[in-house]
Structure 1
Amino acid sequence: MNYRAWLCGAVSACALGFAAHAETITIATVNNGDMIRMQKLTDDFTKDHPDIQLEWVTLEENVLRQRVTTDIATKGGQYDVMTIGNYEVPIWGKQGWLMALDDLPAGYDRADLLPAIAGGLSVEGKLYAVPFYGESAMLMYRTDLAEKAGIKMSDQPTWTDIKAAAKAMTDKDNEVYGICLRGKAGWGENMAFLTAMSNSYGARWFDMDWKPQFDSPEWKATLTDYLDMMKTYGPPGASSNGFNENLALFQQGKCGMWIDATVAASFVTNAKDSTVADSVGFAQFPNKDGVDNHGNWLWSWNLAIPASTKKADAAKAFVAWATSRHYTELVAASEGWAASPPGTRTSLYENPEYQKAAPFAKMTLDAINSVDTKKPSVQEVPYTGGQFVSIPEFQGIGTAVGQLFSAALAGNMSADQALQAAQALTSREMTKAGYIK
């Protein structure tokens, strides 16, 4: 198939005229494995688009969020394509900051996108970003260590099961830690995990009057158990560990369990990078005994185009290529089907080759489909979102609270002190923003 001819169908790439002078588009992206891989495969794009050059700005997650938020809010025009999450897309789409992407070519097959993922990227039926990969969260654990400890892990474990397994798997003399969890401060780092964990404990961020709930017994139980597990069975320096740091620890065989994004599954089972690739099991995100909620988590990293760009056609050509079925097949040919970007397209999960290569495929799809972002807590809430709260103020508040909880993990304050400070800080900011009357 001639991809250039396919793309010319509807994305207006042909209108570029394939000019003699190359046009450079600047792409801001996150420094995780899937995005690094995409950069290595872009010869496939540029050979069909000699008139488009790609300039990459690759940043750590917290830094990326800060930079792209500042750039788009001030209409700085620094980037033509941004890698953003499903937290930002609907908020920025409503603000008119993003270009609608309803005119991608017919061959793009928008209907193939998983409904849960596409729904989070749409405003009033218009698509404002396209997903590079989607994820929920789950437990990844060492089957060899579980067997050695005499543990049979349930497909739907409770936090009581997790605590017992963490204790049994810990062997600090050999630098094996029973559990690795995010500790690095950030609304999308430790607070993504802790918000999901709090949901599984029956907690909520706000009551129906937008009053913070950090003084609730559910939040106290969440943070207390998290700190106890991490300080007793976790690795040293955990307050500095985010997704990438924990991924490296797990791949090096230093974690008995890791609860994080489902996208990590292909990296921990890849024998080229992971020393424990043949000894990884999967289970759903844990829940608290008596709470019927496995911790809502729904995230996607997406490619979006700022409304202010002057290179819209070139940017659309790129995002269509990078999130297409063609790209999925390109990754499969280069790295194997298990490495294909997960969580975005129905066709991938119907593909027998992917099912055979990816033992985590069904668990991932089940986790994504089980998320109800309209009801993240078993209690009534005035907001939507899984591991975040879908309001503009959450980015600042979530990061500030994350800094308090990271400080508690580092031993600089107690759980009670961190929760009290979080309650006061969040109450102040929500009052200032007009939510609390």
Structure 2
Amino acid sequence: MNLKTFLLGTCSAVVIAGFAQAETLTIATVNNGDMVRMQTLTDDFTKANPDIQLEWVTLEENVLRERVTTDIATKGGQYDVLTIGTYEVPIWAKQGWLLPLDKLGADYDVDDLLPAIRSGLTADGKLYAAPFYGESSMVMYRKDLIEKAGLTMPDAPTWEFIGEAARKMTDRGAGINGICLRGKAGWGENMAFLTATSNAFGARWFDENWKPQFDQPEWKATLDMYVKLMNDAGPQGASSNGFNENLALFQQGKCGMWIDATVAASFVTNPKDSTVADKVGFALAPDTGLGKRGNWLWAWNLAIPAGTKKADAAEKFVSWATSKHYLDIVAAKEGWANVPPGTRTSLYENPEYQKAAPFAKMTLDSINAADPKNPSVKPVPYVGVQFVAIPEFQGLGTTVGQLFSAALAGQMSVDDALAQAQQVTTREMTRGGYIK
């Protein structure tokens, strides 16, 4: 063998060995703006970790939840990193489905995570998911349209005011709907909005003995208000609209108000995407004077399933994607207003962020005001603002969401939707042993 052949063979062996050692992480994530942006910025991670390759599975919210839940429950092992919500983390950690995050690195600064967000991701003193962004909900509104209607938006509006404003701002001839709200069925779609809203009306999913409460007047008041308001001032086909659909409508100037996730604030004020970027104001989620506002508490988080064979590589990625360093990358590329919000105390203490993000204080106030342990006016046996933190809720919330979406579409009456919700929920809670 001559020297040239030897060197070529040696180089080939090194290259092959390099490829053999490279690990591919399969990451399941949700199709929204912040997650899609992250995928465009991962060169920073792969340059620092050339032995790790990334493969993305990006799915619509309801589909993501269904597939990830099926995979982890059956130990399918399709994914190495999961994008999951605050609802799943403590339940799945208790079932042994998630690995604790105890190797995030010395510079990660776990103590910098907002206490309200971190507490929902912790079980038995261990962190089981890292928040990519955190959110509550609030009113986003068109300042020009509210002024044209002869009204002034309070910082803390009531539902009565929201209804009046929505109807006055509606101009169907000009293609403007006074209000856009979630109608798409799903426990994390329309039921996130409606459950949080129902808290302000004094409604609750269950009484202290786990008896379903859809036959009570508070739920009737909630759903009546919602359906009538959307019929009077909402967009056509609202029963098909979730977060992404309403975001697009608002950015296109077709909504006077939108009550949804605080994370949307940077999208509706970004002139690259929003035709009304310079006209947007913010207010707290509405109340009815009973002492509770309809603002939820949520985070989209990155977690590692217990069945992965690539745990160390997965935790390196989770650490990178949820770090202060990642926020700096987004700020440098997209501006401070567009960094993922709602996760770190240091972000809300940063003068550059405060200056760039007029919604920062409203977001933090909304997150801190949410009370998962006491979400409604009356006592409840569960934890959760816009969800009930029990395993059965995922199926129940989706079923009830389908009924309420059908009521919005005019396919059944509000009374029928509530009666069926009461029936199916009572049956499932009895079957689950909650009701004796």
In the alignment, what sits opposite 2:396? Answer: 397
What pairs up with 1:251-330 in 2 under 5 angstroms? 251-288=251-288, 290-330=289-329
- Indicate the percent of aligned positions where both proteins have the same amino acid: 75
C-alpha separation between the residues in 2 aligned to 1:83 and 1:114? 19
In the alignment, what sits opposite 1:10? Answer: none
What pairs up with 1:4-23 in 2 under 5 angstroms? 21-23=21-23
In the alignment, what sits opposite 1:427? Answer: 426
In the alignment, what sits opposite 2:362? Answer: 363
Runs of 4 or more above 2 Å deviation: 17-21
C-alpha separation between the residues in 1 aligned to 2:387 and 2:174? 36
What pairs up with 1:46-125 in 2 under 5 angstroms? 46-125=46-125
C-alpha separation between the residues in 2 aligned to 1:146 and 1:408? 29
**In the TM superposition, what whole-angstrom CA distance separates every residue of 1:243-269 from its partner, at most 9, and x where no partner exists?**
000000000000000000000000000
C-alpha separation between the residues in 2 aligned to 1:389 and 1:419? 18
In the alignment, what sits opposite 1:340? Answer: 339
In the alignment, what sits opposite 1:132? Answer: 132
* Structure with max Cα Rg: 2
Amino acid at match of 1:90: P
**In the TM superposition, what whole-angstrom CA distance separates every residue of 1:103-157 from its partner, at most 9, and x where no partner exists?**
2111000000000000000001100000000000000000000111111000000
Give how far 1:31 is off: 0.2
SS in 1 for 2:47: helix
C-alpha separation between the residues in 1 aligned to 2:272 and 2:353? 18
Root mean square deviation, CA, Å: 1.0
SS in 2 for 1:419: helix
**In the TM superposition, what whole-angstrom CA distance separates every residue of 1:276-324 from its partner, at most 9, and x where no partner exists?**
0000000000001x31111241000000000110001110110000000
Question: Where in structure 2 are there 5+ consecutive unaligned residues?
Answer: 1-16
C-alpha separation between the residues in 2 aligned to 1:30 and 1:19? 29
C-alpha separation between the residues in 2 aligned to 1:351 and 1:382? 38
SS in 2 for 1:108: coil
Give how far 1:22 is off: 1.4
In the alignment, what sits opposite 2:9? Answer: none
8 Å Cα contact 1:295/1:376 also seen in 2:
no
SS in 2 for 1:278: helix
Relative to the length of structure 2, the TM-score reads: 0.95
In the alignment, what sits opposite 2:371? Answer: 372
In the alignment, what sits opposite 1:196? Answer: 196
SS in 1 for 2:302: strand
In the alignment, what sits opposite 2:37? Answer: 37
SS in 2 for 1:179: strand
Relative to the length of structure 1, the TM-score reads: 0.95
Aligned length: 420
In the alignment, what sits opposite 2:218? Answer: 218
8 Å Cα contact 1:268/1:276 also seen in 2:
yes
8 Å Cα contact 2:103/2:315 also seen in 1:
no
In the alignment, what sits opposite 2:408? Answer: 409
In the alignment, what sits opposite 2:5? Answer: none
In the alignment, what sits opposite 1:7? Answer: none
C-alpha separation between the residues in 2 aligned to 1:328 and 1:18? 31
C-alpha separation between the residues in 1 aligned to 2:20 and 2:219? 60
